[in-house]
């Protein structure tokens, strides 16, 4: 890789000077997504674990098959709307996590993305989803619950619990997020072959992103259909 | 009969091993589960590069600074590879 970069830079330096090409400012709305105004961007990290909660295997690519072995932390982003954030900030007692947010988390983020683009859960594949939000003092909201996601034929599924906290600062802004889903995952998708056999631990950690960084503004994988992402 | 019983026992043991799975998530192991899922420093090293995620912006910046563009990309949907 370094050799390729060096030779490319050398070739670039040999190119004759040319006038800059005028670039169109037009963008394709089909592929343009921006984080929700006043909302929240969370990192969603997914990793295969061993039973003792240590990371499974070694991250990287199998040099025999050139297939990603799925033992690294996969990254996605969860977008939360301003209304959903305000709802958390004004809780007075234990409440179900609003359905759109709970279903968004389940369908698009409780997935095994460790070996590439995973299939997202269809609405009917949510066998059960019970997530609650509870004020826990000191401007903290506790998120807890369980989930059971499974295809009709049972060939792919993920069952487990979700637990953690959302910390609020003044002005109902979120200052920290520490939420994790942990459970057993099994099966693989069309583009995510090579899953470990049987039911194995998979964790998804949610933490605050920094939307000022370009890399943190990359849209969620599940937002191809924007309305479907926000109202799953 | 004895052979069948041993085979059945081994099969049951094998299934038990496969299905040991994740422990229940509690306040006691929340920190461990959360930390385990986070990327390591080595895994996050690529973020030290100030990537541009908009090709038009990158082209403008490259033209202004007379630098080539290094594209890191893969196949798939533009909104589907994070």
The pLDDT tens digits of the residues spanning A18-76 come to 776 777 778 788 788 889 999 999 999 999 999 999 988 776 666 665 566 678 899 99
**Does residue B75 belong to the interface with chain A, where contact is any CB pair within 8 Å?**
no
Q: What is the mean pLDDT of residues B61-80?
A: 79
**Residue A150, pLDDT score:** 98
Interchain CB distance below 8 Å, A161 and B29: no
Interchain CB distance below 8 Å, A20 and B19: no
For A17-22, the CB contacts below 8 A with 24+ separation are A20/B63, A20/B64, A21/B59, A21/B63
Place of tokens 């939000």: A133
How would you list the strands of the sheet with A200-208, edge to edge?
A74-80, A40-48, A200-208, A174-186, A157-168, A140-150, A126-135, A95-96
Q: Which ipTM value was assigned to this complex?
A: 0.90
3-class SS at A59? coil
**Residue A66, pLDDT score:** 59
Percentage of chain A beyond pLDDT 90 is 66
> Mean pLDDT in chain A?
90
Q: Indicate the residue of B18, B37, B52 with minimum beta-carbon distance to A46.
A: B37
**Does residue B53 belong to the interface with chain A, where contact is any CB pair within 8 Å?**
yes
CA nearest to A160, candidates A200, A122, A113: A200
Determine contact, residues A188/A115, Cβ cutoff 8 Å. Answer: yes
Determine contact, residues A194/A188, Cβ cutoff 8 Å. Answer: yes
Q: Which stretches of A51-123 are DSSP H helices?
A: 82-89, 99-104
Contacts with A221 from chain B: Cβ below 8 Å = 79-82
Confidence grade of residue B1 (pLDDT, cut at 50, 70, 90): very low
**Does residue B36 belong to the interface with chain A, where contact is any CB pair within 8 Å?**
yes
Dist CA A170 CA B8 (whole Å) = 62
Contacts with A25 from chain B: Cβ below 8 Å = 56
- Separation of CA A141 from chain center: 20
**Residue B81, pLDDT score:** 52
Looking at the DSSP bridge assignments, the partners of residue A149 are A126, A158
Determine contact, residues A203/A181, Cβ cutoff 8 Å. Answer: yes
Place of tokens 């594949």: A125
Give the number of other Cβ atoms within 10 Å of residue A199's Cβ.
Answer: 19
Dist CA B50 CA A215 (whole Å) = 8
* Buried/exposed A26-43: b ≥16 CB within 10 Å, e otherwise: eeeeeeebebbeebbbbb
Q: Indicate the residue of B21, B43, B64 with minimum beta-carbon distance to A201.
A: B21
Dist CA A114 CA B36 (whole Å) = 14
The pLDDT tens digits of the residues spanning A139-182 come to 899 999 999 999 999 999 999 999 999 999 876 789 999 999 99
The pLDDT tens digits of the residues spanning A72-124 come to 899 999 999 999 999 998 888 999 999 999 999 999 999 999 988 899 999 99
Q: What is the pTM of this model?
A: 0.87
């Amino acid at each position: 890789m370094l050799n390729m970069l060096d030779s490319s830079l050398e070739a670039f330096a040999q190119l004759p000077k040319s006038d800059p090409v005028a670039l169109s400012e037009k963008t394709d709305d089909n592929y343009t997504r921006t984080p929700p105004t006043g909302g929240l961007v969370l990192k969603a990290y997914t990793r295969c674990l061993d039973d003792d909660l240590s990371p499974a295997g070694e991250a990287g690519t199998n040099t025999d098959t050139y297939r990603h072995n799925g033992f690294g932390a996969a990254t996605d982003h969860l977008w939360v709307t301003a209304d959903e954030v305000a709802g958390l900030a004004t809780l007075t007692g234990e409440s179900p996590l609003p359905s759109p947010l709970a279903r968004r988390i389940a369908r698009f983020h409780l997935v095994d993305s460790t070996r590439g683009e995973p299939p997202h859960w269809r609405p009917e594949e949510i066998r059960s989803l019970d997530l609650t939000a509870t004020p826990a003092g000191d401007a903290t909201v506790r998120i807890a619950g369980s989930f059971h996601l499974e295809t009709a034929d049972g060939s792919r599924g993920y069952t487990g619990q979700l637990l953690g906290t959302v910390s609020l600062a003044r002005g109902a802004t979120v200052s920290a997020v520490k939420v994790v889903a942990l459970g057993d995952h099994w099966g693989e998708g069309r583009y995510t072959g090579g899953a470990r056999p049987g039911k194995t631990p998979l964790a998804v950690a949610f933490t605050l992103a920094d939307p000022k960084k370009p890399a943190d503004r990359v849209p969620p994988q599940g937002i191809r259909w924007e309305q479907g992402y926000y109202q799953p | 009969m004895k052979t069948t019983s041993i085979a059945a026992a081994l099969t049951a043991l094998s299934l038990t091993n496969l299905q040991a799975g994740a422990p229940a998530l509690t306040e006691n192991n929340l920190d461990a589960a959360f930390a385990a899922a986070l990327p390591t420093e080595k895994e996050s090293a690529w973020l030290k590069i100030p990537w541009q995620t908009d090709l038009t912006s990158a082209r403008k910046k490259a033209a202004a600074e007379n630098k080539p563009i290094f594209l890191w990309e893969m196949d798939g949907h533009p909104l589907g590879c994070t």
